[in-house]
Amino acid sequence: DIVMTQTPLSLSVTPGQPASISCKSSQSLLHTGGKTYLYWYLQKPGQSPQLLIYEVSNRFSGVPDRFSGSGSGTDFTLKISRVEADDVGVYYCLQSIQPPFTFGPGTTVDLK
């Protein structure tokens, strides 16, 4: 099974400041077809997870451009350029290159 790890597991950020979350996979997520199957989600308190980034760096519909994703192979990063109050919650990465499809443990982001 592919193991997903995230660092840090918690993050306190001053509004308006940037934030960065790392996600590492135990195997490459690069498919032979050329796509890399790494996704980022935000789960706000009491809500369903919402997709932010798909295939490493593509913002999902309606996602603000302060969110960006980067990386390749086994190392990936989610960056928030300027954290807002609406960004608090738990951030998860997901790999879907092969089953079992696995999520990272989550990174809790709150405001200072």
Partner 1 sequence: EVQLVASGGGLVQPGGSLRLSCAASGFTVSNNSMAWVRQAPGKGLECVSVIYSGDSTYYADSVKGRFTISRDNSKNTLYLQMNSLRAEDTAVYYCARTWGHWGQGNLVTVSA
The residue ranges that bind partner 1 (CB under 8 A) are 39, 48-51, 54, 60, 92, 94, 96, 99-106
Task: Work out how close the CB of 62 gets to partner 1 at its nearest, in angstroms, rounded to a whole number.
Answer: 11
- Give just the sign of the alpha carbon dihedral 74, 1, 105, 62: positive
Nearest C-alpha neighbor of 2 from the set 31, 42, 43: 31
Task: Work out how close the CB of 66 gets to partner 1 at its nearest, in angstroms, rounded to a whole number.
Answer: 20
Nearest C-alpha neighbor of 90 from the set 46, 51, 42, 50: 42
Task: Work out how close the CB of 43 gets to partner 1 at its nearest, in angstroms, rounded to a whole number.
Answer: 8
Q: State which residue, 2 or 30, has the beta carbon closest to partner 1.
A: 2
